[in-house]
Amino acid sequence: MGFRNDFMWGAATSSYQIEGGVSGTGKGKNVWDVFTKEPGKIFGGHTGDMACDHYHRFREDVRIMKEIGLKAYRFSIDWSRVLPEGSGKVNEEGMAFYSALIDELLKNGIEPFITLYHWELPYELYKRGGWMNPQIADWFGDYAALIAERFSDRVKNFFTLNEPQCFVGLGFLNGVHAPGLKSPLRDTFEMAHNALRAHGRAVQQLRTHAQQPLTIGYAPTSGVCYPETEKPEDIEAARQMYFSIPENMENWTWNVSWWSDPVLFGHYPEEGLARYEKYLPRITEEDLRLISEPIDIYGQNIYNGRCFRMGADGKPEEVIRTAGYGRTGCGWPVTPECLRWGPKFLYERYKKPIYITENGMSAHDIVSVDGRVHDPNRIDFLAKYLRELQKATDDTDIRGYFHWSLMDNFEWDKGYSERFGMVYVDFLTQERILKDSALWYRDLIHTNGAGLR
C-alpha cells in the first residue's frame, strides 16, 4: 500500500536530553538533575546541565527541522521546569519557553506532538514517594490539566508516558538510571501500577481541559519478536513470544503485555497475574477503569528484535543470531524486520492506529576533513528499517514515524558517548551540522517514502 498521504514523518527528542537551561530559569530539579551529580553514575561525569542548549537555541533547531522537511516533531515537557515542586506553583518562564517552541513549530508548518513524561520526575515528588505514592496519579493528572489548559489551543497530539518499562526497570530495578535504586520487586510492581494509573488520570485530564478534540496516546517500548519465515507457524511463534511475560525477574519490566493490556483491554495479562502474584499490589476495578481510559493512538518505540520459529515440539524457539551480525554503536543488533512485525502484531492485538514514536541508531559519528558528517551506516539502517515499515502498511494502520533522534544528545548513563542524531552537535561550541542521513531523510520525506521501493 505505501505510506498515507498525510503520513507524519517526524523526529523526536526529550527535554532532559537536549534542553540544558538548568539554572537561572526557575526550573526545579528532577531526578536526573540530581543523579547526574553523583560520582561514577554517568559516562565521563557528563550531565544534562547544558546538553544541546536547546532552551536557548530552539529557534535555530526548528529552522533545521524545517530544512529537513519534518512534518512533525515529538518533544517532551520537563515536568520540573513547569512545576518546580511537581505540583502547585507554576514556573511561568518554563511555560513561556514551551509556548514559544510550539508557536515556532506551527509557524514553520511542523505539527507538535507533546510527550508529558520522558523520565523527568520532579525531585520534590520523588522525596514524597514518587511513583510509590498512589497520589502520583493526581499529581500527574494536575500537570496534564495545566498543559492542556495552556497548550491544547495549538497542540492536538499528546503522549502520556514514554517507555515505562525503562523508567521503572532501569531507574528502580537495576538502578543504572535515575534515581539509581535497586528496589524490592514488590515496590517495582507498585510503581508500575501507579504509573499506569497516572497515565489514565492524565488522559482524563487532557480531555477535560482540551480546547479542541485531541489525539492522545501512550509510548511504551519493546524488543520485537519477529518470525524467521512467513510460514503461519513461525508467525504464530513470534506473536506468542512478543506478548509473553518474561521469566527472568531481574528484567521483568521488559515486556509488552503487562504495560499495554491494562491500558487497552482494562486487565492485566493472566500469565503475568499468575507469575507475579506474590509481588502484586492491591489492584481494584476502579484502578483498571482509570488505567483503561480510552486513547486514540498507540505509540511504540522500536529499535530491534529477536527472531523466532516454531520448534518441532510445537513451542517457539529462538533463531540464534549469526556470527558477526550487524550492530549499532552502542551494540544493539540491527534487525530491520522488527519494524514490519512489531506494528503488525500490535495493531492486530490493540486495534489502534500506530505511531512509531522512536527508532534509530547510535553511531560514533565524526566531522570529516570536508567539514561534513558522513553516516552511511545510519542511512543504510534507515533504508532497511523503513522498507520494512512500508511493508507493514499493507495491513496495518500506521500514521507516523519519529526518528530518534533529531540531534545528538545526552544518552542517559552513557552521557554524550553515543550519537543518535541525524544532526551532529558539537558539545563544546554547540554548532549543529546536518549529517548525510538528515539530507537522505529530507529527500525521503519529499517523496513520501517512494525512494524506498
Q: Which residues bind ligand IFM (CB under 6 A)?
A: 14, 17, 163, 301, 358, 404, 411, 420
Measured from the CB atom, the residue of 75 and 404 that comes closer to ligand IFM is: 404
Q: Report whether 405 contacts 420 (CB < 8 A).
A: yes
Measured from the CB atom, the residue of 416 and 441 that comes closer to ligand IFM is: 416
Task: For the beta carbon of residue 290, count every other beta carbon within 10 angstroms.
Answer: 21
Task: For the beta carbon of residue 98, count every other beta carbon within 10 angstroms.
Answer: 22
Measured from the CB atom, the residue of 84 and 223 that comes closer to ligand IFM is: 223
Q: How far is the CB of 220 from ligand IFM (least distance, A)?
A: 11
Q: Looking up cell 565524526, which residue turns up?
A: 366
Q: Looking up cell 543504510, which residue turns up?
A: 380
Three-state DSSP class for residue 309 = strand
- How many C-alpha atoms does 354 have within 13 Å on its Cβ side? 29
Q: How far is the CB of 210 from ligand IFM (least distance, A)?
A: 27
The 3 state secondary structure assigned to 181-236 is CCCCHHHHHHHHHHHHHHHHHHHHHHHHCCCCCCEEEEECEEEEEEECCCCHHHHH
How many H helices and E strands in the chain? 16, 12
Q: How far is CA 408 from CA 10, 230, 403, 427, in A?
A: 16, 37, 12, 9
Q: How far is CA 137 from CA 7, 282, 311, in A?
A: 33, 15, 44
Q: How far is the CB of 183 from ligand IFM (least distance, A)?
A: 21
Measured from the CB atom, the residue of 17 and 205 that comes closer to ligand IFM is: 17
Measured from the CB atom, the residue of 16 and 243 that comes closer to ligand IFM is: 16
Tell me the chain's radius of gyration from C-alpha atoms: 21
Q: How far is the CB of 418 from ligand IFM (least distance, A)?
A: 7
**Residues classed as catalytic:** 163, 358
Q: How far is the CB of 358 from ligand IFM (least distance, A)?
A: 5
Distance CA 335, CA 327 (A): 9
Distance CA 173, CA 425 (A): 32
Q: How far is the CB of 12 from ligand IFM (least distance, A)?
A: 8
Measured from the CB atom, the residue of 358 and 388 that comes closer to ligand IFM is: 358
Is the bond preceding 179 in cis, omega lying within 30 degrees of 0?
A: yes
Alpha-helix runs per DSSP H in 243-333: 257-265, 270-275, 285-291
Q: How far is the CB of 89 from ligand IFM (least distance, A)?
A: 28
Distance CA 158, CA 127 (A): 27
